[in-house]
Every structure is written in C-alpha cells, then in structure tokens.
Structure 1
Amino acid sequence: MTSSSTPGLTRFNAVADGAARAVLREICASRTWASALLARRPYSDTAALCAAGDAAVAALTAADLAEAMAGHPPIGRPAPGDPASAREQRGMAGAPAALKARMLAHNLAYQEKFGHVFLICATGLTAEQLYDAIRNRIDNTPEREREIVRTELGKINRIRLTRLAEGPPEAIATPAPDDGGAPP
C-alpha cells in the first residue's frame, strides 16, 4: 500500500471478498468483471484500481458485456432508489416532456434493434446531448455499437471506481456473516 491510498480504497482492500464483490457488482453487474478486480486486490491507489477496471472491461466477452448492460436502467428512467443512477442521469431530470417522450421512443427502438439498453456515460451530459447520441448511434452496426458500449461502460466504471476509492470508508458495508462471498 502506498501513501497515495485513500480511506475508501483502504477499506475496499481490507473488507472480506463477499463485501468487496457486492460493492463491485453495484459498480458493474458483470460477475466476470467483479471477479477480475477481486483477484487483483489490494490496490495501491485509485489509478491502479481504474487500470484494473479498464483491463477487465476490455476482456469481457459478449455475454459478459450483456450481463453488465443488464445492470443499467434506460436513459431517462434511472433505477428507483439508486442514487448513482439518478446522479449519472441528472441531465435528463429537467428535460421538457416532449424531449423525454422522444428519448423514450428512441430507447425502445434502440433496444429493439440491439437487444439491450442504450448505454452511455451520461455524467455531465445534457438531455439534448443524450438524445443526439442515441439518434446518432441507432444506425450503427451491432458490432460497432458493441465496441462503443464497451468504451462507455469503461467510462462509467471509472467514475464509479473513483467514487468508491475516494469516498468515505463507511460507504463499503460489511455483509452478513452467511454471505460467504459467493456471487449472486
């Protein structure tokens, strides 16, 4: 451990595998991704954690990527009770009803074409930027879109990993004794 370690990262490195896995699965729903990050603990700093996250995203199979995407709600409809989802999709929150309706229609068309939610790192983007992105990406081939999704997933995971590492250590809960560390 180097002196550049943060309290959140120190706690993440120290908790039992079950608790660490649970936190990682909140960041990214892919079991493969979470296992890859668990296997490399402890991390010396946030950069090392994010680099491991990037490598794990790059190694995801199509099935792993689908599992990761299944953990993301559609743009414009953040997961109820999920502060990360609401924070990341803040740009859609105050959008006019007409724009929200167009976004919903495009979300449905996108999902029909590609078989998964429209995934974009929405942090800091306005409703108009999100709408422009889905309109531009809907004409992609499935292969092209899969690689864009992989890139966007990597961006989302980096933001979330940084928040984990640099956040308060008490944000990482200890699981119940019967957890056993097994993936859900």
Structure 2
Amino acid sequence: MTSTSTPPGLARFNALQEQAAFTALHEACASTAWASRLLAARPYATPEDLYAASDAATADLTTEDLEEAMAGHPPIGRPKPGDPTSAREQRGMAGAPEDLEAQMLELNLAYQERFGHVFLICATGRTGEQMRDAVKERIGNSPEQEREIVRTELGKINRIRLARLVEED
C-alpha cells in the first residue's frame, strides 16, 4: 500500500524555521552553497525528491564549495571528539590495531600534502583495511580525478546524512 502523505521526519524538516533548517543541512554538509540550494527548494514531497536535489546540488559545487564541504570532515581514524555522526560513520576504524591506525595517520598526511585537503570517503560500512586500501589507491590519482571521486563520495555521505535527518522520528 503506497502512502501519499509526507513521511513524519520529512514533514518536520519541511516545517522547520529557515535558520533551523539551514543549520540541520549545514550539519549534514559543510558547504553553504549546497545547504542554501536545498533550503531554497523546500518543501519536499518525498525523501527521494530531497535526495535528488542533494545530488544535483553536489554535482554543481564549485572547487571552492567542495573545499568548504571537505573542511567539515575529520580525517579517517580521527573522528571529531563528541561528534556521534563522525564516530558512527568511521566505526570501521574503531578498535583498529595500532599498526593500522599508524598507517592511516601516515596515509592521511601524505594524501593531505598531495591534494591539500582531507581524504574523503564514504566510510559507512567500510572496514579500516578497506579505507586504508582506498587511500593507497587514490593517492596516485591526478587532482582532477580525485576531485570527481571526492564529489561522488560526498554525494554518498550527504544522502546517508539526509536519510538520517528525515527518516528519524
């Protein structure tokens, strides 16, 4: 049976005051341009409409907008203290052996030196080893290739965070 009513979490998001909605979006993605674009398209009839708007906004981010978005993400293996979102997303590194933690620290620093920003990957559901292997593989990319991979990974992260925002009761 298909429901035509807006899911409660999405209805609550649609009803938020503009500043509260912007804050919620900005917590999902640190790009002001992305959050502003999603805010301007409210109300959303379905979560899928919101996700499609997010995908379109992510695709249109400038290099500067991407840099702003990436600045909101802590390095893999070092979630922001007191931030349950980054801790949950980086669960694959929780309790990792010391040698894996040391490898990730070294790889994160090498990646950041090469590209000028944090290594961004949709860490949800990935093991520490998978994330280590991904940074090893991606560090050889050109800056242009890496920017597009980052854009794709950011889009995945944004969808997961938006789903949590509008599907929670």
User: Runs in 1 of length 4+ with deviation above 3 angstroms?
Assistant: none
Task: Output the aligned Cα RMSD.
Answer: 0.9
> In 1, distance between residues paired with 2:100 and 2:163?
31
- Work out the CA distance in 2 between the residues paired with 1:88 and 1:4: 30
Q: Does 1:104 align with 2:122?
A: no
Q: Which amino acid aligns with 2:120?
A: L
Q: Deviation digits for residues 69-102 of structure 1, max 9, x if unmatched?
A: 0000000000111111000000001210000000
Counterparts in 2 of 1:95 and 1:44: CA distance versus 1, 3 Å: same
User: Could you tell me which residue of structure 2 aligns to residue 28 of structure 1?
Assistant: 29
User: For residues 15-164 of structure 1, what are the structure 2 equivalents within 5 Å?
Assistant: 15-164=16-165
Q: Secondary structure at the match of 1:129?
A: helix
> Which secondary structure does the structure 2 equivalent of 1:69 belong to?
helix
Rounded to whole Å, the distance in 2 between the matches of 1:135 and 1:157 is: 24
Structure-2-length-normalised TM-score: 0.97
CA distance in 2, matches of 1:109, 1:156: 23
* Residue 3 of structure 1, CA deviation: 2.8
**How many residues are matched?**
167
Q: Distance in 1 between matches of 2:18 and 2:95?
A: 39
Question: Deviations 1:14-70 (Å, cap 9, x if unpaired)?
Answer: 011000000000000000000000010000111111000000000000000000000
In the alignment, structure 2 segments of 5+ residues that lack a partner are none
- Residue 4 of structure 1 deviates from its aligned partner by 4.6
Q: Which has the higher contact order (CA 8 A, sep 6+)?
A: 1
CA distance in 2, matches of 1:83, 1:119: 18
Q: Which amino acid aligns with 2:40?
A: A
Secondary structure in 1 matching 2:126: coil
Helix, strand or coil at the partner of 1:68: helix
1:181 maps to what in 2?
A: none
- Structure 1 position 123, deviation (Å): 0.2
